[in-house]
Structures are given as structure tokens and as C-alpha cells.
Amino acid sequence: MRRKELEHIDKVLAEEKIVVFSPYEDEIYSEIEKCQNCSLCLTFCPVFEATGEFYPGPRGIADELSRDVREFWRASSIVYMCTLCGRCQERCPVNVPIPEVVMLLRSKIFVQRPDLVPEGLKVLLENVSRYGYIFEPMNPEEREESLRGRLERIGLPLRGDPPLRSGLVAYFPGCQAETRLLEVKEAGKLVLEAFDVDYGIPEKWKCCGLPVRLIGDSAMADELQRSFLEEMERMNVTDVVVTCAGCASELKSATKRLGSGI
């Protein structure tokens, strides 16, 4: 097929918001066909335990996706209630990767049926676009007062944010520590100082991309990670320290996916 024809096809697919599955995505999606409808997953699903029959659980995803046509949006009411804890896959006798299926469905729903994305999640994405963090930050005066009060209560000193210079270790606080758990960010700095780590905090850093990806906006997550890693490489940074396990896992995955040496 000629290049112009391929470009035309890509254009039509984009205009019509038709989502094409990659070979990997197709493989993940097909894994749901292994489901035996044994309902063992429901026994260990925390959401099902809390809501009862209101939430059909992982098995409900298999039921909704068992059609010839991939009407994956039919499972939207299920996938956005899933906590992605993975207990269903751990107990599944045929190891159906429900968390991966849920992530895939969210990403496809986000592109093809954005009207089905819960409004509360859209607000979080707007926060990232507006502030760079998944949570709306406090105003500077309120933040300083809150931080001083917390540090005084637990007996920790207040340190300034050292700027990141070329070749230093980068300290990535994460959205939680920057906007909610303020004392965690300060404790992280004290730990680095205790180990004589020459570090700095990147200027205007943004969300690691994990919550964005969990919501389904893979494109924004990829851009956040690509921009951050490129900036770190420009600053000759080879090591990044984080205080959040989620940030660590997501950024580590991004370095492998994007071929970064960090």
C-alpha cells in the first residue's frame, strides 16, 4: 500500500476516533477469553465485597467482552470502579490479566468514548494540565503555614529546595508529597542530606504520569514522561530519587520504554 493511502487511512481513523489495537493490545484483550466464569475472582475482589451485587467484578468484564464485536465501552461502569489491586489475577486459575485488561479498556474508552469517563477523573486531568500535579495545590501562604505546622508537630527542620544542577542526583517529590503530604517531601530531603547525596529538585517538574495513565490518557502520560526524561538527560542526570513507590515504578517503566539511560 502506498504511503499516501496509509496517511489517508490514518487521517480517517483519527477523525472518526476509530481505535486500532496493536499486536500487544490485541493479545492482552484476547486473554479475557480464557475466563471460565468460575467466579473465584469475586471472592477476593475488595470492590465486590464492599458493594455486593451492585458491582459485577472481574467476571463482569469477561461477560461484557464476550461479544464478536469489540464493544469495550460496555464495560465502562466496571473498569472505573476497579482498584487495580490485582487480587483477581493472583487467584484466577487460568491467570487472566484483569488489571492489564482494565488499563487497556480505560485507554480505549478515553479515546473513543470520552463521554463515559467519570467527571471526577476529568477534573484530575485538568489539574495536571493547569498545575502540573494531579491534585490542585494550596496557595503559597496556606502551604507555608501548613508545612511549618506539620514540621513543628513532628520535630523536623525546614529546608529550602536546592535547584538541580548539571550532573547532580535529581529528587522527584511526586504530586502527593508536593501538594498533600508536605512533610514527606521535607523528610526525603533530610534523608538525602544524611547520606551526603549531592542532589537538586528539577525546576517546574510535573506529574510522573501514573495517575494520568490509570485514568486512560496514555498520550498525556507519555508526553509527561518523555519531557521529564529529556530534561534530565539535558541536565546530565543519571539518577533520580523518588519518595513515592508509584512514581518510582512508573518512571522506571518509562525509562525502559523510551530507551533512557537514567
pLDDT tens profile 100-132: 989 988 998 898 888 999 999 999 999 999 999
Selection from 43, 105, 118 nearest residue 74 by Cα: 105
Q: What are the pLDDT digits (tens) for 82-96?
A: 999 999 999 999 999
Q: What is residue 187's predicted lDDT score, i.e. its pLDDT?
A: 96
Selection from 234, 254, 261, 243 nearest residue 164 by Cα: 234
- Is pLDDT above 80 for 69? no
The CATH number, out of the four listed (3.40.50.720, 1.10.357.10, 1.10.1060.10, 3.90.550.10), of the domain defined by the range 3-114 = 1.10.1060.10
Q: Tell me the β-bridge partners of 240.
A: 170
What CA–CA distances, in Å, run from 38 to 64, 101, 234, 244? Answer: 16, 18, 52, 36
Q: What are the pLDDT digits (tens) for 54-63?
A: 788 888 887 7
- Is pLDDT above 80 for 1? no
State the residue for C-alpha cell 533512557. Answer: 260
Q: Predicted confidence band at 243 (pLDDT cuts at 50, 70, 90)? A: very high
The structural domains of the chain, with segments of one domain joined by +, span 3-114, 121-258
Over pLDDT 70: what percentage of the chain? 91
H-run or E-run covering 170: strand 169-172
pTM of the model: 0.84
